[in-house]
Amino acid sequence: MEAIGHKLFQLGDPEGKGFIVRRDMQKLKDELSMTPEQLEIVFDTLDVEQKGYLTLSQFLEKFKDTAPMNFRNNRWKEQQMFKCSYTEDIQTLLQTIKDTNMIKLSIGHLENICKAASQTEPDSAVSVGRVEAFLRALNMDLIKIVERDRELEEMLQSREVQHQNNMQKLFEELESHFREEQEKTKLEDQRKFRSELTALENELADKEERFRAAVSTRQEFAGQLVAAQQRELAVMAENSKLIETRERLLNDLDAERTKTCRLEKIIERTNAESAADNEKHFKQGFYVAKNLVSLKEEGALKL
């Protein structure tokens, strides 16, 4: 059974792309002896996920469980979808309608009606015929709906192709515009780079010139600093000499002060001695004068 499935899939996918779409099912028309509408229903039955394509694994998985095509006894070339009668024909039509997956809500009621019709007496063939006619009409309506869905799908695919073409054209235009803008940006960046490089070179040259001037100024300052240090050393030496002279003068001053104090003491002692001598001499002179006065008074009296 799996070998038959592989053979059918290869017939539908002669290019070897690995999947079959709705159009590829029409390639199995002669092998399965089905109409295009029936093949559409088979594809919809197999494509339960409604992806629009069938892989080999999906095809083989659903292939063995598909009721409308009886492949299990290797008589798939001789089977027809509507080649039954009475209750078998009703069950086939019902299964076909169910496989369209278009009336999910009312399929249970429809199964009950078909079951009731199949259980009627033989003289109720008219009722069975009416149910069968109803199912056939319903099946045809569903086939037309499927056809309209297919047409809509083809139209959507056509629009999708047109949309993809437009997107591709837009993408090419955007890519061209992007390349132009990229080239413009590249040229502008190069121009800015050259301008900034020139500015940096000029700035670097100016900094080098200022650096050389700074180095020259630093050297001048270094010479001036050396001269100042030499002058400072000379001043420090002169200050040291001045300090030594000051200390010597202070020592001399202290010696002179000592001499002066000693002289002052001598002068004070001399003054004291002189005052004492003067007082002594004064007293002696006063005594002499007094004596003289006394002598003169005595002499006058005598006269």
Instruction: Among 19-33, 121-135, 255-269, 282-296, name the one with the lowest average pLDDT.
Output: 121-135
What local confidence, expressed as pLDDT, does residue 196 receive? 92
Q: Nearest Cα to 34, choosing from 10, 61, 2, 68?
A: 68
Q: Residue 233: what pLDDT?
A: 92
**pLDDT value, residue 122:** 46
What is the DSSP secondary-structure string of 216-257?
HHHHHHHHHHHHHHHHHHHHHHHHHHHHHHHHHHHHHHHHHH
pLDDT of residue 158: 83
Quote the pLDDT of residue 84.
Answer: 35
Fold (topology level) of 1-66: Recoverin; domain 1 (1.10.238)
**What's the confidence (pLDDT) of residue 242?**
93
With pLDDT > 90 as the criterion, what percentage of the chain qualifies? 17
Give residue 147's pLDDT. 79
Which of 57-61, 77-81, 108-112 is least confident? Answer: 77-81
Q: Which residue has the higher pLDDT, 127 or 60?
A: 60
- Using the predicted structure, report yes or no on whether residue 284 has a pLDDT greater than 60: yes
* Residue 123 clears pLDDT 60, i.e. is over it: no
Q: How confident is the model at residue 250 (pLDDT cuts 50, 70, 90)?
A: very high
Residue 37 has pLDDT above 90, yes or no: no
Instruction: Domain ranges for the chain, please list them.
Output: 1-66, 103-119+127-183
Rounded to an integer, what distance in angstroms lies between the CA atom of residue 204 and that of residue 202?
5
16, two tokens: 């070897």
Per-residue confidence at 297, pLDDT binned at 50, 70, 90? confident
Tokens of 187: 């040229």
Task: Dump the DSSP string for 271-299.
Answer: HHHHHHHHHHHHHHHHHHHHHHHHHHHHH
The C-alpha atoms of residue 21 and residue 26 are separated, in whole angstroms, by: 10
On the question of pLDDT at 184 being above 80, the answer is yes
Give the chain's count of helices (H) and strands (E). Answer: 7, 2
Contact indicator for 8, 28 with CB cutoff of 8 Å: yes
The predicted-structure confidence for 191-227, as pLDDT tens digits, reads as follows: 999 999 999 999 999 899 999 999 999 999 898 999 9
